[in-house]
Chains A and B, each alone.
Chain A
């Protein structure tokens, strides 16, 4: 689901878009000398907040023309990238890739330009170190410049918590879930209390909770050495048992992710908490507004997350070796990931910067339309605090397949009342059938 994280309601056009992309899978790069006019192509996806920056770059570099393409969802962008990668042609000069596909990107990291050849070493201190490490391949080549990261905080609906006799104040809520030492056990306990008081579900569906739990571990579905490690993985299984216990207690609202009934689930009190990486805040706002709600619906954002720091998603800008203008492309990528650019992107799309200087910038910590929606929560400051202690987890080549095809159905089973052991065994069964490596 990571690769689908930026899905909007328009995701329905997915198939059509991806087919159209297959059909028109060529975006030829104009030839020309480095002094002459150059056209650079940029492919991004979802809401990365970069659109406003192209014109400024063109103004500063009169010989550069930027041709930007934005693909609606991360999932479609992955298909697009894979198709063009397989065809060996058609990739943009600056190609955005998502954290969730890193395992696949790293399989073919030699088809990406080593940005160290174009000055990456001079600017590599700008990023938080784990982001830089994620964008570096096994041979130490820097192939991706980090754009945003996805530190997770807890979205909650203050009005609903109040109905259950719980505090709705941001700090008190953080305290309710255990503050800095928040654990999943506490989270599920609060959920059970909420359920006992209201009879309602606590979170939207088990899948997102599971994502957060897995992303938080030192090793996820793969060992750091790159072996699939799911069957008999006690760390995973103990988290699974907690999740199954929560679902059995009726804490899951059994929603379909990215659908949420056109946003209605966010406004009709179906659930009171939601897993919120930075970029998800914009999604929540969009869903609530799609269903006719607004700031008064009661959503708020607390500086707390069960189990401690967690990261979900985030993207990189890469330069494929197919590019005819790698030097100019690398320069553009560096510009788009500068502190000023990432602040601008945050203001446009709520994507939390991976650049250290940008994280504490007034433009990030200050108020915005998004913070107004979340009951004036200091979103940038909270996300900065949530980003502390995040470490990168190794993503194997089939990470997203395991997440979607193995644990997607299994978490859905939990939601529909199947007991934890059966759902886990079914997941293992699917994993064996898929015969992944």
Chain B
């Protein structure tokens, strides 16, 4: 029965159509209307909402905040995750203990993380400012200045996600064959050299996966800034210092009640994420194709050598013999 495989995968696609595709299309329809949350659909106004948003300084402000928090969290987070993974990849005692420990922040709910950190980052009574003042350092306005607030929110993200990413990268590192390391160290490569020349290139596909998921997550950041100053009437700081795009969207929909513009923001954000995703994809494909090029060049050389040998001594030729195997070997290890 040829239908059965399609039936097996149907639940996903039916669910996706219902809770993924339909809202996507409906949001687009809403974004073309002057649509108030309470009074409902108004006039059809085409792309006016998009034009209005692209001219709205608060929209650009939210994009800037999102990108800034994203960069402040993604870069240190990935560097730290790679470093931690490399440490855990060593021969440690009580391996599982260490590995599980770095995952603990991940199982704490983001809401709890946000509450704890927002208290620690309090401006007047917060733990961190208390410590700073006790060292005679001026307290930092964590919740009302742009860079400190971004730093504080990025800290929450890093705290939660570094361990998770480190575990994924660790899994990739574990998959690298150990004997290569052995032969490399026999050839005199030190641990640093082995890390940069062997470990990093081998985990590249996983790195790309981690970067893409971090990008999507980073561009959709909501909980941390929403709860960073939960008592503030304004979302994302009095002057929108850390109002990310999703927060801005929420504010537009539920505080200002303009569903049309909120939907337009949602679609703009969607397009931006798709755009960045494509960029990531292209970069990763380019990396992959460079690898293929290197491989095919080597293979061509090998083949040429093999043919030369074969031509020189036709009697010894064995099409499935050792030379062919060595070509395959060469490909595997390159």
Using a CB–CB cutoff of 8 Å, the interface residues on chain A facing chain B are 1, 4, 7, 11-16, 75, 79, 82-83, 85-86, 104, 107-108, 254-259, 261-262, 264-265, 397-398, 400-401, 403-405, 408-409, 412, 416, 433-436
Contact = CB atoms under 8 A, between A and B. Distances in A.
Contacts of B118: 12
Contact of B230 (A11, A397, A405): A11
B124 A255 contact: yes
Given A104-B257, A255-B124, A434-B256, A82 B38 contact: yes
Contact of A86 (B38, B231, B234): B38
Contact of B227 (A15, A85, A86, A398): A15
Contact of B233 (A13, A107, A408, A435): A408
Contact of B256 (A1, A254, A256, A401): A401
A89 to B, nearest CB: 13
Given A14-B227, A265-B124, A408-B234, A108 B111 contact: no
A274 to B, nearest CB: 16
Nearest to B119: A262
A416 B144 contact: yes
Contact of B226 (A15, A262, A408): A15
B231 A264 contact: no
Q: Which 4 A-B pairs have the closest CB atoms?
A: A261-B125, A258-B231, A404-B233, A409-B238
Given A256-B123, A259-B122, A14 B144 contact: no
Contact of A107 (B39, B56, B222, B256): B39
Interface string B32-49: 000001111000000000
A62 to B, nearest CB: 38
A32 to B, nearest CB: 30
A433 B143 CA distance: 23
A85 B36 CA distance: 11
Contact of B239 (A104, A264, A409): A409
B56 A433 contact: yes
Contacts of B227: 12, 14-15
B223 A15 contact: yes
A436 B252 CA distance: 11
Interface string B238-274: 1100000000000000111101000000000000000
Residue of B37, B58, B114, B255 with most partner-chain A CB within 10 A:
B255
Nearest to A80: B254
Nearest to B231: A258
Contact of B144 (A1, A405, A412): A412
B229 interface: yes
Contacts of B144: 412, 416
Nearest to A104: B38
B232 interface: yes
Contact of A13 (B56, B111, B234, B255): B111
A412 B232 CA distance: 11
B131 to A, nearest CB: 15
A412 B238 contact: yes
B327 interface: no
Contacts of A403: 233
6 contacts: A15-B223, A256-B143, A257-B231, A258-B231, A259-B122, A435-B52
B231 A256 contact: yes
Nearest to A8: B231
Contacts of A257: 231, 233
A56 to B, nearest CB: 34
Nearest to B124: A261
Interface in B94-138: 109, 111, 114-115, 118-119, 122-125
A165 B323 CA distance: 102
A92 B28 CA distance: 30
A265 to B, nearest CB: 7
B227 to A, nearest CB: 5
A270 to B, nearest CB: 8
B172 to A, nearest CB: 33
A405 B255 contact: yes
A259 B40 contact: no
Interface range for B: 35 or more
B230 A14 contact: yes
B254 A79 contact: yes
Nearest to A261: B125
A77 to B, nearest CB: 12
B256 A436 contact: yes
Given A13-B111, A83-B254, A404-B255, A256 B230 contact: no
A7 B231 CA distance: 8
Contacts of B40: 86
Contacts of A16: 109, 111
A189 B227 CA distance: 38
Contacts of B58: 433
A81 to B, nearest CB: 10
B57 interface: yes
Nearest to B126: A261
A398 B252 CA distance: 12
Given A14-B227, A412-B238, 17 more contacts: A1-B233, A11-B230, A11-B231, A13-B111, A13-B230, A15-B230, A16-B109, A75-B233, A82-B37, A82-B254, A86-B259, A256-B123, A257-B231, A258-B231, A264-B125, A400-B255, A409-B234
Contacts of A264: 125
Contacts of A82: 37-38, 254, 257
A188 B254 CA distance: 37
A86 B30 CA distance: 13
A265 B231 CA distance: 15
Contacts of A83: 254
Contacts of A12: 111, 114-115, 118, 227, 230-231
B234 to A, nearest CB: 5
Contacts of B123: 256
A256 B124 contact: yes
A318 B232 CA distance: 28
Contacts of A15: 111, 222-223, 226-227, 230
A108 B39 contact: yes
B22 to A, nearest CB: 15
Contact of B38 (A1, A107, A416): A107
A408 B273 CA distance: 32
A91 B122 CA distance: 37
A401 B230 CA distance: 17
Given A86-B37, A86-B38, A436-B256, A261 B230 contact: no
A16 B114 CA distance: 11
A437 to B, nearest CB: 10
B56 A261 contact: no
Contacts of A79: 254
Contacts of B111: 12-13, 15-16
Contacts of B52: 435
Contacts of A404: 233-234, 255
Interface string B51-62: 010001110000
